[in-house]
Amino acid sequence: MSTPLLAVENIGRRFGGFVALEGVSASFEPNRVTAVIGPNGAGKSTFFNVLSGVLPPSTGTMRFKGRDLAGTPQHRFAHLGIARSYQITNIFPELSVHENVRIAAQAFRSRYEIWRDRATLTELDDKAAAALAAVGLAHRGSATAKFLAHGQQRALEIAIALVTDPELLLLDEPTAGMGPEETKEMVALIEKLAAERTILLVEHKMKMILGLSDRILVLHHGRLIADGSPQQIQSDPEVRRVYLGQNDGYA
């Protein structure tokens, strides 16, 4: 059996006496879309923070392509091939769309040369342009980021993550605040990106999750209570009891 892209074993995270995660184990194969769901307070954000290096686990181990991540600082995760977007859009609103991505590309190459003369950054400009094209924003490169529609700002944040060429992309509620049309566009983008990389996402829109994901993990009170295909999760009685509800129609 091949080595999974990411494997976590008995991951736990405590904040003083509060247990946010306990005994979570899972492995993730390349080029699959996995959703992490659960009620509010289930531990989803904490789990994502651990996977992206924002928080170290209190217990357990994490391995990326077989490498133990213990003690790895957060900024090194991107260099290893792990990138993340956040629930709250995280961009430079006063800069142009292209400049947002170019700065990320430059910081990724050398965090000590962020303000180097732009005239010497031709290859980084090309890299930024390619990332914008991947998310459908090639035509908005000169626009000021704050004037983009909400869905386009979310796509810009993904472009910023893509410029590091991640093998694993973590998306934290990528459709938060979006209407039906913007959500549809984001789903199409995620499907396109998943053809070349592994994607983990936290989401609350169940109809979207069931149609997009290859696999779903369900957290409840910091513990993993179910792990399976969308069909398996739909029919799991424990999941229905604690999260989906018996009669909600998976809307």
Domain assignments of the chain as residue spans, ordered by start: 1-74+196-251
Decide if pLDDT at 160 tops 60.
yes
pLDDT digits (tens, 9 = 90+) for 95-104: 999 999 999 9
Query: Considering the chain, what percentage of its residues have pLDDT values greater than 90?
Result: 77
pLDDT digits (tens, 9 = 90+) for 58-83: 999 999 999 999 999 998 999 999 99
Q: How far is CA 46 from CA 43, 50, 53, 241, 249, in A?
A: 5, 6, 11, 23, 28
3-state SS, residue 56: coil
Rounded mean pLDDT, 212-239: 95
Query: In the block, which residue shows the tokens 């006496």?
Result: 17
Report the C-alpha gap between 172 and 55 in whole angstroms: 15
Decide if pLDDT at 84 tops 70.
yes
More confident: 17 or 247: 17
More confident: 242 or 159: 159
Check if the beta carbon of residue 135 is closer than 8 Å to that of residue 158.
Answer: yes
Extended strands (E) in 94-205: 168-172, 198-202
Decide if pLDDT at 89 tops 70.
yes
What's the mean per-residue pLDDT of the chain? 90
Decide if pLDDT at 12 tops 50.
yes
Decide if pLDDT at 157 tops 90.
yes
CATH number for the domain whose boundaries are 1-74+196-251: 3.40.50.300
Could you count the other beta carbons within 10 Å of the beta carbon of residue 74? 14
Check if the beta carbon of residue 27 is closer than 8 Å to that of residue 12.
Answer: no
Report the C-alpha gap between 35 and 242 in whole angstroms: 17
pLDDT at 106: 86
Query: In the block, which residue shows the tokens 């944040």?
Result: 157
**H or E stretch at 155:** helix 150-162
Report the C-alpha gap between 35 and 243 in whole angstroms: 14
